[in-house]
Amino acid sequence: MQLSKAQIIGKNIKKLRKQAQLTQVELADGIGTQAQISKIEKGLVIPLSTTLYEIAEKLGVDIHGFFEQAYEPQSNYLKEVKYQIRKEIRNRHYEEVERILNFEGKNNIFQSDYDYQFCLWHKGIIEFYIYHNTEKSIAFLEEAFKLTNKDKETVTTLQEVEILNSIAIIYNEIQQYHSSIQKYKQAIRHFREMMEITDRRVEIRLYYGLAKSLFKNQSYDESIDYCKKGINVCINEEILYLLGELYYEQGQNYQALKKIQLAHNAYSTARQLFQIGRRPAFVEVVDEKLTALDP
């Protein structure tokens, strides 16, 4: 049987409320009555937009999250735009990201706080990589983060974590390693506070980025610890994502500590993974490292 829009929204609210470990009475506090929340969760009524906004804010989620499944056709275009932007970021096509943001900004598609946060996040990224304006870039990113993270009681979203990750990367790029390390650790704390973890790759990316900044900061033992954390997530979740890079970073740390055999083992594992992934340029880099280790 196909669920109605009211039932889909109610089901999502109930799921998120339980994840936040709130009773119906606690969720209703300051919003309405327990009876109203009960009716909403049962799908008997679709709440007013103002009520839904208050519920979403209390649960620390984007109001669009309630509507995505119920009104999927309206959200498909925005999803596709976001997908294209993230794809261009991965490919480092920052000029294309700027073009998309400018075009879609005129269409006013980034209306909710959550969607506008996405827009500000990527404005911050292109401000750094296109215009090399670090101060303005960080300002955009900090503004984006605070847009939905207004207080400590707010449940963390994955997007907030990824914004902190972007700030940490920029600090690493400008060789402010201490600030980078602080932001990575803040991002990891926020990630662990999340009620529902939907993408372990973000966690792996945080561990890898932190390990790199710690290596640059000559904090070799701590960097190795975070490499191991990332490797463990990859193994436990059966994900190859960044696994080769983590072993390579581990090898660099062992090499810096003069632990030659451990460095050799880590580099060799990284090399195998890069071979499996058909990444010859990375294999070549590792080969140079292995050659340098040989007496």
Torsion of CA 197, 115, 171, 94, to 10 degrees: 110
For the chain, give the percent of residues with pLDDT over 90: 66
204 pLDDT higher than 70: yes
User: Which class is 5-66 in CATH?
Assistant: mainly alpha
Rounded to whole angstroms, the Cα distance separating 114 from 144 reads 9
- Cα angle vertex 292, ends 287, 295, to 5°? 125
- How far from the centroid of its chain's Cα atoms is residue 28's Cα? 30
What pLDDT is recorded for position 45?
Answer: 79
User: CB–CB of 250/228 below 8 Å?
Assistant: yes
Helices (H) and strands (E) in the chain, counts: 16, 0
- Give the residue-averaged pLDDT of 22-33: 92
Q: Which of 113-117, 204-208, 285-289 has the lowest mean pLDDT?
A: 113-117
> Is there a shared CATH topology between the 73-198 domain and the 218-294 domain?
yes
Domain ranges of the chain: 5-66, 73-198, 218-294
What pLDDT is recorded for position 189?
Answer: 93
Kindly state the tokens that stand for 78. Answer: 């925005």
Rounded to whole angstroms, the Cα distance separating 157 from 72 reads 21
- How far from the centroid of its chain's Cα atoms is residue 207's Cα? 12
- Give the residue-averaged pLDDT of 104-116: 81
Q: What is the chain's mean pLDDT, rounded?
A: 90
How sure is the predictor about 177, in pLDDT bands with cuts at 50, 70 and 90?
very high
Give pLDDT tens digits for 241-255.
999 999 999 999 999
272 pLDDT higher than 60: yes
Give pLDDT tens digits for 111-149.
778 889 999 999 999 999 999 999 999 999 999 999 887
Rounded to whole angstroms, the Cα distance separating 266 from 79 reads 39
4 pLDDT higher than 90: no
* Spatial CA neighbour of 103 closest among 88, 114, 90, 92: 88
197 pLDDT higher than 70: yes
What pLDDT is recorded for position 180?
Answer: 99
Rounded to whole angstroms, the Cα distance separating 187 from 210 reads 10
- How far, CA to CA in Å, does 182 sit from each of 122, 168, 218, 264? 21, 8, 15, 30
Q: Which residue shows structure tokens 């696994």?
A: 243
What pLDDT is recorded for position 69?
Answer: 54
- Cα angle vertex 273, ends 269, 275, to 5°? 115
CATH pick for 73-198 out of 3.40.50, 1.20.1050, 1.20.120, 1.25.40: 1.25.40
| pTM over cut 0.85 | no
Long-range pairs for 194-197 at CB < 8 Å and ≥24 separation?
A: 194/155, 194/156, 194/157, 194/158, 194/161, 195/16, 195/19, 195/20, 195/155, 196/19
- Count of other CB atoms within 10 angstroms of residue 260: 13
User: CB–CB of 94/124 below 8 Å?
Assistant: no
256 pLDDT higher than 80: yes
User: CB–CB of 211/233 below 8 Å?
Assistant: no
- Give the residue-averaged pLDDT of 181-191: 96
Give pLDDT tens digits for 30-78.
998 999 999 889 988 777 777 888 888 888 777 666 655 555 544 677 8
Q: Give 105's contacts (C-beta < 8 A, 6+ positions apart).
A: 119
Q: Domain 218-294, CATH 3.40.390 — does that match?
A: no
Kindly state the tokens that stand for 247. Answer: 């072993």
Q: Decide: residue 134, CB within 10 A, 0-12 exposed, 13-18 middle, 19+ buried.
A: middle
What pLDDT is recorded for position 65?
Answer: 63
- Give the residue-averaged pLDDT of 189-218: 93
* Spatial CA neighbour of 243 closest among 210, 220, 219, 266: 266
